[in-house]
Amino acid sequence: MKVVNYHSGYSRVRHSGRDFSRTDASSLFGESPDVLGIKTALEKRTLDRNSINPYFTRVASEAGKFKEWSPEKRLANAITVAAYLVAQGLKTNQVRKILEMARTTELKIKRGEGDVKDDIVKMRYLLAYTVGKASGQSRYPLEAFHSVLDPMLEVLMREPTSENFGKFYDFLQAVVAYHRFFGGRE
């Protein structure tokens, strides 16, 4: 295998006589992700889950501290998660129940309908069930999604305030929006 680097942030990998172009992920991710660059690289398949993994792993390791994220960091982290999930092949319908429950809970909070702790608990176990019932290749993106959302839901179970849920819901909406923007399938 031979790697040839170019100045534009791309490299070509020659393996077994075939060329594979790769995008330098470090030029795309960080405090202010290059959304259009990520979209283009995912569409051209020059960015894969292995290149995004270090950035995704950082977000997953910090997920339990999501309450402290600034709006800019929440957005940057959502973009990173969405790109990783697209690279993993997550389909939106695989997490539709969780998304619907989060929306229902958000509406319940806005209407002032009381305690949402039961809703958060239910989201957490439905997410675990969704991962558990998946098999084969479809399981990997769900496990990745779980590794980010479960620590957040754990925090929300302890501190189910409307402010904390709002931050979680904003993050979730941003992940779904960018998943779709990056070409994620239904």
Average pLDDT over residues 167-182: 94
Average pLDDT over residues 136-156: 91
Whether the per-residue pLDDT at 63 is higher than 90: the answer is yes
Chain segment 16-51, per-residue pLDDT in tens: 433 445 778 888 998 899 999 999 999 998 888 899
Where does the pLDDT of residue 144 fall: very low under 50, low under 70, confident under 90, or very high at 90 and above? very high
pTM: 0.83
Domain residue spans in the chain?
35-181
Whether the per-residue pLDDT at 160 is higher than 90: the answer is no
Q: What percent of the chain has pLDDT over 70?
A: 89
State the pLDDT at residue 14: 41
- Minimum mean pLDDT range among 21-30, 112-121, 139-148, 173-182: 21-30
Adjacent-strand bridge partners of 12: 4, 21
More confident residue, 104 or 18: 104
Adjacent-strand bridge partners of 22: 11
